[in-house]
Amino acid sequence: MAETFLKKWGKQLSIAIFILLFLLPLTKMGFKTYLTLTIAGCAMGMMLFLIASGLSVIFGLMDVINFAHGACFAFGAYAGFSTFNALQAWVDANSWFLNFAAFMCAILAAVAVGLVIGVLLERFVVRYVYGSHLFQILITFGASVVLVEFIKIIWSPNDEVMAVPLTFQGNWDVFDVIILRYPIITIFLGLIVYGIIQTVLKKTKVGKIVRAGVEDAEMVQAMGHNIFLIFTGVFAVGVAFAAMGGLTISIWSRSVYPDMGGWYLIFAFIVVIIGGLGSITGSLVGALIVGLAYNYVAYVVPWAAAGVNILIMVIILLIRPTGLFAAGK
Amino acid sequence: MTDQTPVQIHRQMQRRKQFTGFPFYLKLALLMLFIAVPFLFPAFKSVDLALNVIIFSVLVASFDLLLGYTGILSFGHVMFFGIGAYSVAMLTGKYGDATYANLGLGFMIAIGITLLVALLISFLSLRVKAIFFAMVTLAIAEFAIIFATKASEFTGGEDGILISTFGVFKRSFSLGEFLGRDINGKMITYYFILAICVVLFLLMMRFIESPLGRVMQAIRDNEPRAEAIGYKTFVFKMISICFGCLIATILGALYVMWTGYANPESVLGTPIMVDVLLMVIIGGMGTLYGGIAGAAFVLIAYTFLPDLQKIAASLFPGIPFLHALMERWHLILGILFILVVLFFPKGIVGSIREYVTRRKVTKVAGAN
């Protein structure tokens, strides 16, 4: 009897439990802190979504595990760092327009660098190891080491301070609730990116081909499309998203250092395991869960913040090993 | 007499050839070399290098047990190394006096924790695709590093734990002279570690040759088939993971006996994992002796790299970019890693074995 009940209401029940869990911290803190933390958590979630979505789509379409994603993420952050250095005047100006212009240039720079690295990686490293997960992991791991060393050569092996555009700093005071500005910007950016991805995937012809490729790559090839070109394109776009994610996180934490890729790569893996490999909505939901959980727990029990995410990952692995969403959604 | 199965015939032939022939004498010579090092090259640097080669080759061999013989890639291997190191360090340094009893207790506790953690990790992540195992172990290993650094009350934080040698292993303890060298505690530690490592290595070899080891190789080659024949692959993979990680733990405990300190960077860090991966690939996956070759190659390269830099600087004085490149030798090692994985996946020992087998085949074919 319990089984049929669970089968019928299982999905709604789990969603209800989730919502309850996320309202739990309200008991430990005031409403205003809760709101601030929620916004910070959503912002962190959006940044993780950017890096995790690339990983997820690359696996969903090409069946390739990309361990070099973190290094590409770091490259994007450094590209943004250089852009901000070059456009120092715009960054320091107290004008929304100029700051946004600088931000857009940085995003473009990060995306461009990401695309270039993605194409190079795919053509010269990943192409030779299609089909064997083990070798993909090994080779992309080596590629990430090489990429990080290149960062150390081109820029410097030390930590660098990342400039933050002037109007992005600070906060708004809305009804006595402190809302930081930058997280809101990030949330909007993340939602826009998610919207763009879903539109491209669902409404354009290229998107249709990619979705078909996720389901059956051979058939798409048989239909006459150059699947390898599509692979390269998707890989490059995924890496570009990671680069964008790197840019946003570096502005958030105000620093860039060569090894930042490794730490966030682990978060991206946790997000992808929770959300499901191959699903963009899954990455969004997983990233939000991870971001929110991290921020709530970091406030209440600081040292367990990283651990709680591992706990969530463990729970998901136990009850639904393939992740929350199926591939391709 | 009933017909022997092909496997039994193969094993009988192997057993007959075990103690004859060139490979056996090579292995014996290697062992003799390791035994003789403290007498031939008494400088501390060489003995240290030799000991690092010994410990890392067994560590790499145990990693190869998982990677090359069972087909499981685990990024958490160094974490178990660290668990062994920290257990012994904590019990003989921080929380107890340096005695033999505490040393033994440290080993026992380390083994206990390892078994628990390995069982937990494998239970969680082997139920899904094998790639998840790599991701989960990476995450848990990173978390272990953070835990060791943050919980400084318990683990000594970033500075780690220092232990002092004691008893027979004490530096000032001396057994007298032998062949012109002073047998002090350091030498005794060296031989103690060498003996245990040899035992562990022989244990691993026995494990590989046993029926259990053969099932593991079957899982590596074609897991669905192994499952179809009737082996519970989940159980076998779990056993192999536990065994490999146990060996890593014991090695960690031995390592801390030699170096005398344990901090997150030296026994738990990611650079060590990268080194181990490099050694496995260069030495050869799927061959235990590849561990020795890979460890020797990489560690000797690390030792002589500063000299290489000087040579490069003197040969190309006007090209600072080359200097920068040589300084970033991790970059060169990374590129080497990629090239070896792409073009040379069998590594040193694997390629040698393949070459020898191919020559035997062509000899037989040519004779016909």
pLDDT of chain A, 329 residues: tens digit per residue? 666 766 676 667 767 777 777 777 666 677 777 788 888 888 889 888 988 888 888 887 778 888 888 888 888 888 888 888 887 777 677 777 777 788 888 888 888 988 998 998 888 888 888 877 778 888 888 888 888 888 888 887 777 777 777 666 766 666 666 677 788 888 888 888 888 888 888 888 888 888 887 778 788 889 888 888 888 888 898 899 889 888 888 888 878 888 888 888 888 888 888 888 778 888 888 898 888 888 888 887 777 777 788 888 877 877 777 777 766 54
Lowest model confidence (mean pLDDT) among A84-93, B7-16, B125-134, B174-183: B174-183
Lowest model confidence (mean pLDDT) among A37-51, B47-61, B171-185: B171-185
Q: Do the bridges between strand B174-178 and strand B181-184 make them parallel or antiparallel, or are there none, so unpaired? A: antiparallel
User: Which residue would you say has higher pLDDT here, A319 or B59?
Assistant: B59
Q: How many domains does chain A have?
A: 1
**What pLDDT, on the 0 to 100 scale, is given for residue A55?**
87
Helix axes A227-253, A69-86, angle to 10 degrees: 60
Lowest model confidence (mean pLDDT) among B40-54, B104-118, B169-183: B169-183
Tell the residue number behind the tokens 């061959």, with chain if given: B287
Residues of the domain holding B266: 43-367
Please answer whether residues B300 and B49 qualify as being in contact, where contact means their C-beta atoms are separated by less than 8 angstroms.
yes
Q: Phi and psi of B176, rounded to 5°?
A: 105, -175
Is B341 within the bounds of a domain? yes
Among the partner-chain residues B73, B143, B342, the one whose CB lies closest to the CB of A134 is B73
Please name the residues between 130 and 149 in chain B that touch chain A, using a CB distance below 8 Å: 130-132, 134-136, 138-140, 142-143, 146-147
Q: Is A115 exposed, middle or buried (0-12, 13-18, 19+ CB in 10 A)?
A: middle
Is B2 within the bounds of a domain? no
Whether pLDDT at B346 is above 60: yes
Q: How many domains does chain B have?
A: 1
Is A329 within the bounds of a domain? no
Q: For residues B160 and B264, what is the distance between their CA atoms, to the nearest angstrom?
A: 7
Is B334 within the bounds of a domain? yes
Residues of the domain holding A64: 35-259
Is A308 within the bounds of a domain? no
Is B153 within the bounds of a domain? yes
Please name the residues between 295 and 314 in chain B that touch chain A, using a CB distance below 8 Å: none
For residue A139, the chain B residues in CB contact (below 8 A) are 338, 341-342
Among the partner-chain residues B129, B143, B330, the one whose CB lies closest to the CB of A307 is B143
User: Which residue would you say has higher pLDDT here, B125 or B277?
Assistant: B277
Contact B135 A141 (CB under 8 A): no
Is some CB atom of chain B closer than 8 A to the CB atom of A319?
Answer: no
Nearest CA distance, B319 vs chain A (angstrom): 14
**What pLDDT, on the 0 to 100 scale, is given for residue B256?**
85
Q: For residues B57 and B348, what is the distance between their CA atoms, to the nearest angstrom?
A: 14
- Residues paired with A179 in a beta bridge: A172
Q: For residues B308 and B311, what is the distance between their CA atoms, to the nearest angstrom?
A: 5
Whether pLDDT at B1 is above 60: no
Q: Which of A68, A235, A119 is nearest to B334 (CA)?
A: A68
Contact B73 A137 (CB under 8 A): yes
Nearest CA distance, B278 vs chain A (angstrom): 9
What amino acid is encoded at A202 in this protein? K
Percent of chain B with pLDDT over 90: 7
Is A328 within the bounds of a domain? no
Is some CB atom of chain B closer than 8 A to the CB atom of A31?
Answer: no
The 10 Å Cβ neighbour count of residue A174 is 9
Among the partner-chain residues B131, B324, B345, the one whose CB lies closest to the CB of A133 is B131
Give the mean model confidence (pLDDT) for residues B157-182: 68
Give the mean model confidence (pLDDT) for residues B306-327: 65
Is some CB atom of chain A closer than 8 A to the CB atom of B325?
Answer: yes
**What pLDDT, on the 0 to 100 scale, is given for residue A305?**
75
Give the mean model confidence (pLDDT) for residues B11-36: 79
Contact A306 B136 (CB under 8 A): no
For residue A137, the chain B residues in CB contact (below 8 A) are 73, 131, 134
Is B10 within the bounds of a domain? no
Q: For residues A307 and A301, what is the distance between their CA atoms, to the nearest angstrom?
A: 10
Is B224 within the bounds of a domain? yes
Is A25 within the bounds of a domain? no
Please name the residues between 84 and 103 in chain B that touch chain A, using a CB distance below 8 Å: none
Contact B338 A317 (CB under 8 A): no
**Which chain A residue has its CA at the smallest distance from B273's CA?**
A141
Is B3 within the bounds of a domain? no
Lowest model confidence (mean pLDDT) among A18-32, B165-179, B242-256, B288-302: B165-179
Q: If DSSP states are collapsed to H, E and C, what string results for chain B? A: CCCCCHHHHHHHHHHHHCCCCHHHHHHHHHHHHHHHHHHHCCCHHHHHHHHHHHHHHHHHHHHHHHHHHHCCCCCCHHHHHHHHHHHHHHHHHHCCCCCHHHHHHHHHHHHHHHHHHHHHHHHHHCCCCHHHHHHHHHHHHHHHHHHHHHCHHHHCCCCCEECCCCHHHCCCCEEEEECCEEEEHHHHHHHHHHHHHHHHHHHHHHHHHCHHHHHHHHHHHCHHHHHHHCCCHHHHHHHHHHHHHHHHHHHHHHHHHHHCEECHHHHHCHHHHHHHHHHHHHHCCCCCHHHHHHHHHHHHHHHHHHHHHHHHHHHCCCCHHHHHHHHCHHHHHHHHHHHHHHHCCCHHHHHHHHHHHHHHHHHHHHHC
**What pLDDT, on the 0 to 100 scale, is given for residue B289?**
84
pLDDT band for B59, please (50, 70, 90 cuts). very high
**What pLDDT, on the 0 to 100 scale, is given for residue A299?**
81
ipTM of the complex: 0.78
Is A95 within the bounds of a domain? yes
**What pLDDT, on the 0 to 100 scale, is given for residue B248?**
92
Is B20 within the bounds of a domain? no
Summarised one tens digit per residue, pLDDT across range B228-276 is 999 888 888 888 889 999 999 999 988 888 887 777 777 777 778 888 8
For residue B124, the chain A residues in CB contact (below 8 A) are 314, 317-318
Is some CB atom of chain B closer than 8 A to the CB atom of A133?
Answer: yes
DSSP E strands, A159-226: 160-161, 171-174, 177-180
Please name the residues between 53 and 72 in chain B that touch chain A, using a CB distance below 8 Å: 67, 71
Is A85 within the bounds of a domain? yes
Is A291 within the bounds of a domain? no
